[in-house]
Structure 1
Amino acid sequence: MAPSGVGSPTPQEVSDELRRVVERWHQLPLDQALSRMPSVRVLVQSLADRVAQACGGAPQPVPDLGPAVVMDQLSVMVFDLFRAAPATDPAVVADELAGIRRSL
C-alpha cells in the first residue's frame, strides 16, 4: 500500500480519458495510427510546452519516436503537467484527450 499523499497527481477524469485514448490507439491499424500521429503529436507538444512554462523553463521539442511510443509520451506529459501545475483545469485536458480519441 502506498503511503498517504503518494500517487498520481492526475485527476481521475483525466486518467479515465487518457486510458480510453490509449486503448483506442492500440486498436488502430498501423496506417491509421500513422495518419493520426500529427494531431497526437501536437497535443503532446502542447502539454510539454505547458510543463516547461510551469517549471520556468524554455519549451523543448518532443522527439518523434513513432506510433509505438507516442502514447507513452502522451501519458508522461499528462502526468508531468499535473505534477508541475496542479491547478491545471482537468476538464480542459480531458476535453483535449477526448478530441484526440474522437479523431481516431
Structure 2
Amino acid sequence: MHDPVGISARTELDRLAHRWHTLPVGQARSAAVPARSLAGEWLGAEVEDLGPAAALDQLRVAVYEAARAGLPDEVAGDRLADLRRRINAGEGQ
C-alpha cells in the first residue's frame, strides 16, 4: 500500500510523537485541544475528544487523509512543526 504522507509531514509527526510521549498529563490535555483542532481542519469535521492519549492518533489519521486528498507535504510539515513548537512552548491551552 502506498503511503501518501510525505517526508516533511512524516518527520514532523515523528518529532511531535516523541515530544507528546514526554508531556505531563496536564500539558498533554492542553496540547490535545490544538491537535484535535488541526485534525478537524484537515478532516473537515469536528474531532471528538477521546482524551490526550488518543489525540496524537487522531492527528495521524487526519494527516494521512489530508495527504491522500492532496494537501502538499510542505504545508502539512509546516503546520505540524508549528503545533510542535506551540506544545514545546507550553501553549497548548
Matched to 1:36, the amino acid is A
Following superposition, which runs of at least 4 residues in structure 1 exceed 3 angstroms of deviation?
none
1:101 match: 84
User: Higher Cα Rg: structure 1 or 2?
Assistant: 1
| 1:37 counterpart (21, 32, 35) | 32
Aligned identity (percent) is 38
Structure 2 SS opposite 1:46: helix
Provide TM-score, normalisation by structure 1: 0.77
Provide TM-score, normalisation by structure 2: 0.85
Gaps of 5+ in 1: 1-5, 50-59
Structure 1 SS opposite 2:10: helix
| Matched positions, count | 87
RMSD: 1.2
- How far the C-alpha of 1:37 sits from its partner, in A, is 2.0
